[in-house]
Amino acid sequence: MVVPYEAIRVGISELRLAPYVAAEGGDLGRALRLYAWNVEVSGAFLGILHLLEIRLRNALDEQLCRMYQRQDWWDAPDLRIHHIGRRAVVRAAQVVSARSGVITHGHMVAELSFGFWVGLLGRGGSCDYETRLWRPALRHAFPHYRGRRQPLYTDLDHIRTFRNHVAHHEPIHDRHLAADRLTIFRLLGWICPDFADWVTPLDRVPEVLSRRQDVVEGRLAPRF
């Protein structure tokens, strides 16, 4: 197969290809194969990132419903959340209302972003999430975690940033991707080891990581 290098270069853009060309010492053929592998590994990570996000938000939502004794905990009078989180709640309610005409618990939980949920495990500024949310409620979302809030938040925020790179089609080939995968599974295990065990055999990231060199050198074709 003749590779249409010029069409690909124009179609992807020189600016977007530049990090890959630099990584492969100016070899355009290797750079394009690395780019394709980057698409492949990003797609592989989407599955486990998807399941981490779903499991995290359900675990946190369960604890907040229990703490405030209501499903619409985001409207509880005694809930104090940072202004960034409050704006996220307002936007989510507007989207849900515009889409279905009624704000339901399930739709709100789904609409609130990964960043919102991770943010609830941060410091919270003057809202003091440590004493108002973490100690009385949110620590129970991680029954298999025995550490302090901050290291857990650091891990989750690291994965939030990684997820955004994947979602926005950015280069991830230069990251320690095996470590990112281990962090995802460590977080899942802290929430529910049985759930993590279910996800493990479904995960194709290790296979894709093992293919990198062969793909870049042209011995295997990328698949995405």
Question: Which tens digits make up the pLDDT trace of 165-188?
Answer: 999 999 999 999 999 999 999 999
- Residue 25: the pLDDT is 97
What mean pLDDT value characterizes the chain? 96
Q: Closest by alpha carbon to 46, among 155, 153, 182, 164?
A: 164
- Mean pLDDT in residue range 133-142: 98
Residue located via tokens 């095996």 = 178
Residue 6: pLDDT over 90: no
DSSP conformation class of 198:
H
- Residue 1: the pLDDT is 64
DSSP conformation class of 81:
-
- Residue 121: the pLDDT is 98
The tokens for 15 are 């600016």
Looking at per-residue confidence, does 10 or 162 come out higher? 162
Question: Which tens digits make up the pLDDT trace of 37-78?
Answer: 999 999 999 999 999 999 999 999 999 999 999 999 999 999
How distant is the alpha carbon of residue 142 from its chain centre?
Answer: 17
Residue 125: pLDDT over 70: yes
Question: Which tens digits make up the pLDDT trace of 99-109?
Answer: 988 999 999 99
CB neighbour list of residue 40: distance below 8 Å, 6 or more residues apart: 208, 211, 215, 222, 223, 224
CB neighbour list of residue 54: distance below 8 Å, 6 or more residues apart: none
